[in-house]
Amino acid sequence: MAIAIFGGGCFWCLEAPLQKVIGVNSVTSGYCGGDSLSANYQQVCSGTTAHAEVVSIDFDENQISYSTLLEVFFHLHDPTQLNRQGNDIGTQYRSVVFYQDDVQKLAALKMKASVATLYANDIVTEISPIMPFYSAESYHQNYYNSNPQQPYCNLLIGPKITKFNSQFAHLLL
């Protein structure tokens, strides 16, 4: 199994659609990229740890490639928004790819350059070496599936999943 770690706004918004992708074994919401030796939601939201909200994706490279996951990631959020996604504002909502090795780094740089032609504004997604990953609290895991009628989920994640399902139907379980 391989691991991909992506941040693109609220981790709930990445977790839910990525759970539906063929070859994805699990998606864990968490925190990465900070300078403290631990992370929790309250600390990360305070802006004092420098962590981003991310998802760690455990996937089978025989079923889906890292490059395909990168393509999905870049289409699930707006990579031109610096330290935000919509109304979620702060460095914890930054767009970031944490790579595991030079192969992932090269793939991320290549995909970033490729999708740049799709946007009028510059892509601000960071491509950074892996740092310690901390799982988010249990109530953040599988959040959308457990709370689909919660207003944030209903208004933001539901439409994102609908768009994702039509755009990436060939990748769905």
* Segment (H or E) for 67: helix 66-76
In the set 10, 13, 32, 153, the catalytic residue is: 10
Q: Is 45 a catalytic residue?
A: no
3-state secondary structure of 138: helix
Nearest Cα to Cα of residue 70 among 30, 131, 18, 26: 18
What is the C-alpha separation between 124 and 27, in angstroms, rounded? 24
Q: Long-range contacts of range 102-106, CB-CB < 8 Å, 24 or more positions apart? A: 103/66, 104/4, 104/66, 105/129
* Single-letter amino acid, residue 127: I
- Count other Cβ atoms within 10 Å, centred on residue 49: 22
What is the C-alpha separation between 161 and 97, in angstroms, rounded? 21
What is the C-alpha separation between 54 and 13, in angstroms, rounded? 10
Q: What residues are annotated to the active site?
A: 10
